[in-house]
């Protein structure tokens, strides 16, 4: 067996920032600390913080008044911030800056009286937070077929935005269909799909032709991880999205000689290496690291947390 280990893979800058934010908050404030939704969509990361005393909630009302509440990397609606303030919560914002960019675009278009078509997956935490910036302005679509059902006319002021973790190819098709149906529609000057999502998809697209099977490390509720597995399958390659080595099925490898391994942007490198070691120990697999693109993006901790850590001379995580 030969393992092609795709790079870039795993944690992106936004995930690193969110995790470091929560780690620093624990060192500053102790536990329990509350997090609105999962800090990132990964079972291993969430389970680790639960063991450390973090409480993940789906409603601000679940948080005791005056407690510390951290907003996850996926961002929140203004209503969540208002309720947090009313409950005198000490809020720490770990929203990925690339999600914040989409929020600011939404606010700008809404103030200019545009109707906004958001391309994204219904119920995803990021989509909920983005639509919450201007609830009356948004219409959500998930496919070109849903674009065909839109009732807007040629005189409507229209803009589009996208969830940051979509399939680049799928989003492009939907945007193209929007432009065909509504030539007046405008979009952001720079793509909303984040650099890490695009880079990981590019690596799978370029490397999967050399593989017999693709293993994606990531959780089932991770949108960008799902897209990596879908991309491989769209190319006719068997692909499996798993949380770790314990989910690997030996039957996948009958007759397979080359395995491409990658990881979604919220999957720890430790689960990648555990899966590599699992295959090496059972199949004497060799490993070839294949780097498609270098990444050097870094997001600093939220300003309020940097100031608090500096005040007590707490070293950064």
Which positions are annotated as active-site residues?
126
In whole angstroms, what is the distance from residue 59 CA to residue 172 CA?
34
**Which residues, 6 or more positions from 2, have their beta carbon under 8 angstroms from its beta carbon?**
257, 258, 259, 285, 286, 288
Secondary structure of the chain: what % helix, strand, coil (to 5)?
45, 20, 35
Contact by Cβ (8 Å): 29, 68: yes
Contact by Cβ (8 Å): 85, 93: no
Only one residue has tokens 């690596």, namely 203
In whole angstroms, what is the distance from residue 29 CA to residue 24 CA?
9
Q: Which long-range contacts (CB under 8 A, 24 or more apart) does 248-252 make?
A: 248/215, 248/275, 248/278, 248/279, 250/282, 252/213
Alpha helices (H) in the chain, listed in sequence order:
13-29, 43-51, 78-86, 97-111, 125-131, 144-148, 168-181, 195-207, 223-234, 269-283, 303-311
Q: Look at residue 27 and give its three-state secondary structure.
A: helix
286-291 and 2-7 beta bridge pairing: parallel
Q: Which residues pair with 242 in a beta bridge?
A: 217
Contact by Cβ (8 Å): 218, 46: no
DSSP type of residue 186: B
Q: Which helix (H) or strand (E) holds 52?
A: none
């Amino acid at each position: 067996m030969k393992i092609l280990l795709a790079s870039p893979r795993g944690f992106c800058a936004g995930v690193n920032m969110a995790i470091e934010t929560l780690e620093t908050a624990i060192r500053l404030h102790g536990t329990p600390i509350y997090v609105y939704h999962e800090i990132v969509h990964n079972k291993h990361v969430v389970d680790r913080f639960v063991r450390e005393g973090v409480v993940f909630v789906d409603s601000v009302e679940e948080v005791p008044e005056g407690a510390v509440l951290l907003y996850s990397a996926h961002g929140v609606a203004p209503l969540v911030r208002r309720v947090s303030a009313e409950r005198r919560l000490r809020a720490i914002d770990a929203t990925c800056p690339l999600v914040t960019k989409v929020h600011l675009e939404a606010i700008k278009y809404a103030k200019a009286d545009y109707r906004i078509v958001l391309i994204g997956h219904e119920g995803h935490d990021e989509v909920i937070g983005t639509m919450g910036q201007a609830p009356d302005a948004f219409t959500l679509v998930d496919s070109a077929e849903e674009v065909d059902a839109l009732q807007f006319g040629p005189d409507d002021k229209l803009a589009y935005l996208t969830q940051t973790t979509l399939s680049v190819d799928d989003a492009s098709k939907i945007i193209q269909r929007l432009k065909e149906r509504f030539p007046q529609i405008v979009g952001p000057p720079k793509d909303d799909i984040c650099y890490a999502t695009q880079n990981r998809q590019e690596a799978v697209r370029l490397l999967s032709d050399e593989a017999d099977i693709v293993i994606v490390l990531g959780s089932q509720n991770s949108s960008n991880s799902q897209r990596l597995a879908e991309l491989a399958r769209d190319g006719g390659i068997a692909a499996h999205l798993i949380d770790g080595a314990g989910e690997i099925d030996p039957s996948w490898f009958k007759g397979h000689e080359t395995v491409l391994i990658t990881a979604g942007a919220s999957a720890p490198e430790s689960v990648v290496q555990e899966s590599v070691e699992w295959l090496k120990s059972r199949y004497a697999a060799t490993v070839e690291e294949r780097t498609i693109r270098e990444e050097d993006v870094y997001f600093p901790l939220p300003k309020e947390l940097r100031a608090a850590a500096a005040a007590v001379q707490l070293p950064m995580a």
